[in-house]
Structure 1
Amino acid sequence: MTNTMTDVATALNQVLADSFALYIKTKNFHWHVSGPHFRDYHLLLDEQATQILASTDLIAERVRKIGGNTIRSIGHIARLTEIRDNDADHVPAKDMLGELRQDNLVLVDSLKRAKAIADAAGDNASSGLIDAWTDEAEQRAWFLLESARD
């Protein structure tokens, strides 16, 4: 694997780690959300978690297709991710939505860095996939923003 493709694989593994961390956090909040908008938030977070999880296999397979190795453990994810855990016993629903919005924007930043690296490497396939994942993360952030408005 060339150095440029190694850089793409490294960037995609960062995206993968952030995606897994965001998936777990979204499911955590999905399981623990409460309050007057419980049903709406519960369903929204489940839909978002499902979308995030679906992207993880595609990201990992892209890394393998270009000759790289991908994440192998929870510890590996923890070392790479920029998404911060929230282990609080209770988080108000609006705070959950705001935190997940910010986390999706962290993922967008990770995706944009990966896209720049893929573009520099001439890896059109990774670049195109990253565009779709970026759009999904931006849409999730938008839905979370709008859902949290009073």
Structure 2
Amino acid sequence: MKKSPTVKKQDPNLEQRPLATPTDLEAAATKDIGGAMNAILADVYALYLKTKNFHWHMSGPHFRDYHLLLDEQGDQLFAMTDPIAERIRKVGGATLRSIGHISRTQRIADNDADYVEPLAMLAELREDNKTLAARLRQAHDVCDKHRDIATASLIEVWIDETERRTWFLFEASRQGDATGH
């Protein structure tokens, strides 16, 4: 009589959670990293939409320069979203699922004003990008704590991009002569 082949049973935790990606990270790491990165993802979506809002509603003598700057920055922010969400999934987490989920998670404030002065737009986006850089550093700390080198590496690039956006927004909104007066 032939012996039936032994079939290795799948991890019971994965059977109970069909979207749980296998990872060598502990459950606490998945929870912490997923939470930190979902908050970043929500902030990036909120900042993306605010940047596009200001891009669409820009006016004034520097319209073309500001319009193009904000379009470029919006594209850069949107380009971050898929890699962030995929990192969350790769470490075993679940990502944001809807606009409502984003609005409940985001920490970047919306701006629904009918009109915002162009320099006020740049200043608000500059401050939001500074805040995002600080939150990216906090998320990096979470990744370091759990030895998630891959997510930390991506975050380092995003910090650099965010600092560049902050710098460009600062320089574009400066008034006066070359000395800053």
Alignment TM class, shorter chain as reference: over 0.9
Given that 1:82 and 1:106 are in contact with CA atoms closer than 8 Å, whether structure 2 keeps it comes out as: no
Is residue 57 from structure 1 mapped to residue 82 from structure 2 by the alignment?
yes
- Percent identity over paired residues: 56
Structure number with the bigger relative contact order (C-alpha 8 A, sep ≥ 6) is 1
Aligned position for 1:95: 120
Match of 1:83 in 2: 108
- Which residue is equivalent to 1:37? 62
Gaps of 5+ in 2: 1-25, 176-181
Post-superposition, which runs of at least 4 consecutive aligned residues in structure 1 deviate over 6 A?
none
Superposition deviation, residue 5 in structure 1:
2.3
1:83-137 CA-to-partner distances (Å, cap 9, x unmatched) read 1111111100000000000111111121111000000000000000000011111
Contact 1:115–1:130 under 8 Å retained in 2: yes
Q: What's the secondary structure of 1:34's corresponding residue? A: coil
One-letter identity of the residue aligned with 1:78: S
Distance in 1 (alpha carbons) for counterparts of 2:30 and 2:143: 8
For structure 1, the residue ranges without an aligned partner over 5 or more in a row are: none
CA distance in 1, matches of 2:169, 2:53: 15
**Equivalent residue, structure 2, for 1:26:** 51
| CA-atom RMSD in angstroms | 0.7
Q: TM-score, normalised by structure 1?
A: 0.98
Q: TM-score, normalised by structure 2?
A: 0.81
SS at match of 2:119: helix
1:10 aligned onto 2:35: yes
User: Which of these two proteins has the greater Rg computed from alpha carbons?
Assistant: 2
Note if contact 1:105-1:138 (Cα within 8 Å) is conserved in structure 2: yes
- 1:29 Cα deviation from its structure 2 partner: 0.1
